Structure 1
């Protein structure tokens, strides 16, 4: 999420210190990234992880790093096309409106999130690149 908001506990997210650190780190890495690119680690929640693994099994991507490269490239390409992004947002919203499943209130959602956060997450699966020598 990129927009600051307050969760139900009254805390700002992201925390201002975390946001300042991220901005500072991005500035410090600019020159090195310009020359050598950027390498980073990412965590995907289960629904995105399964979506990605399905696409790899179907042959759409070789591995998660290729998917990241392709999908971020597509996001960069569409960034300048505000009209297309707005149309996509409208379609996504209409799809949510048309979803036949019953909705839940914000209060119920926060309660579910509180309950879920009480138990530790299972150890995530980790992709290992094949090394060719």
Structure 2
């Protein structure tokens, strides 16, 4: 089965990402992993609203909570399949405008390029008071 990302990202880019994951895995298993995460605008807006409301201390805490839920969902493939089925049904029943596949892929590639050309704002960790 072909990887759906093959049409979006160059193979050498994907290979470099996978090589870095392999190189860091052992040390990260013992010490954790610090990373910079890009959140698409709708997710970024939601996460920052949650921080503003005090639900999370900072965006990394929200990402941590989301990843825990994702990992826990992996232990329940039947539930994962059901959620996926519901989402697909919802989208298939959406009466909004349709976009041909080639056009949708072109738009996606353009969005990736635009985002690569523009630096998003960066959350700076607030130092803990001494």
1:44 aligns with 2:39: yes
* Closer, same or farther: CA 39–109 of 1 in aligned 2, 3 Å: same
1:94 aligns with 2:89: yes
Partner of 2:54: 59
Partner of 1:129: 125
Normalising to structure 1: TM-score of the pair? Answer: 0.76
SS in 1 for 2:36: coil
Q: Is the 8 A contact 1:4 1:14 kept in 2?
A: no
The structure carrying a bigger helix percent of its residues is 2
Counting only pairs closer than 5 Å after superposition, residues 1-133 of structure 1 correspond to structure 2 as: 3-7=3-7, 13-113=8-108, 117=113, 121-132=117-128, 133=130
Task: Provide structure 1 residue ranges, at least 5 long, that are not aligned to the other structure.
Answer: 8-12
* Closer, same or farther: CA 32–6 of 1 in aligned 2, 3 Å: closer
Normalising to structure 2: TM-score of the pair? Answer: 0.78
Task: Provide structure 2 residue ranges, at least 5 long, that are not aligned to the other structure.
Answer: none
Give the number of aligned pairs. 126
CA distance in 1, matches of 2:70, 2:55: 17
Higher relative contact order (CA 8 A, sep 6+): 2
* Closer, same or farther: CA 83–124 of 1 in aligned 2, 3 Å: same
Partner of 1:10: none
